[in-house]
């Protein structure tokens, strides 16, 4: 897996809101987007996407839905591993206290380091 692009915003913002504001419309239709449960509704924006099925209130998931969620989580774990590698550099893990206009440059440089060190994440 390779980090191709990053998006950021000032202050706290939900991941799905950041996705829709930044790169949501730029993702090609052939690319499959895997999101966590916070991305419910992404199917309306990007038809080729998949998110885990949530348990309905007062109900249970069927065995098929549980198996589908497990398959999805096995694919998504590689994304979470890349997030963890990015957080090692502490630019995301802690409050950023440097010049805001340099954040994107530094984040891109870190992505380049991760891509260089782990070509097949």
* pLDDT of 61: 92
CA angle in degrees (0–180, nearest 5) for 24-9-75: 50
- The answer to which of 20-29, 55-64, 85-94, 102-111 has the lowest mean pLDDT is 20-29
The 3-state DSSP class for residue 70 equals helix
Chain-centroid distance of CA 12 in Å reads 16
* pLDDT of 119: 67
Is residue 86 within 8 Å of 71, Cβ to Cβ?
A: no
Q: What is the pLDDT of residues 35-78, one digit of tens each?
A: 888 888 888 887 888 889 988 899 999 999 999 999 999 988 88
Tell me the pLDDT band of 3, cut-offs 50, 70 and 90: low
Q: Compute the radius of gyration of the chain from its Cα atoms.
A: 16
Backbone angles phi, psi at 31, to 5 degrees: -85, 130
Look up the pTM and report it. Answer: 0.66
Is residue 107 within 8 Å of 8, Cβ to Cβ?
A: yes
What lies within 8 Å, CB to CB, of 54 at 6+ separation is: 37, 40
Q: What is the pLDDT of residues 100-121, one digit of tens each?
A: 778 778 888 888 888 888 766 5
Beta bridge partners of 56: none
């Amino acid at each position: 897996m390779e980090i191709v692009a990053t998006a950021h915003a000032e202050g706290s913002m939900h991941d799905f809101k950041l996705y829709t504001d930044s790169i949501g419309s730029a993702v090609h239709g052939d690319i499959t987007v895997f999101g966590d449960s916070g991305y419910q509704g992404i199917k309306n924006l990007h038809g080729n996407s998949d998110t885990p099925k949530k348990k309905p209130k007062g109900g249970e998931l069927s065995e098929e839905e549980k198996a589908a969620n497990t398959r999805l989580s096995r694919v998504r774990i590689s994304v979470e591993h890349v997030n963890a590698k990015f957080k090692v550099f502490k630019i995301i893990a802690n409050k950023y206290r440097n010049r805001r206009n340099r954040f994107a440059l530094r984040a891109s440089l870190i992505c380049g380091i991760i891509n260089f060190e782990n070509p097949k994440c």
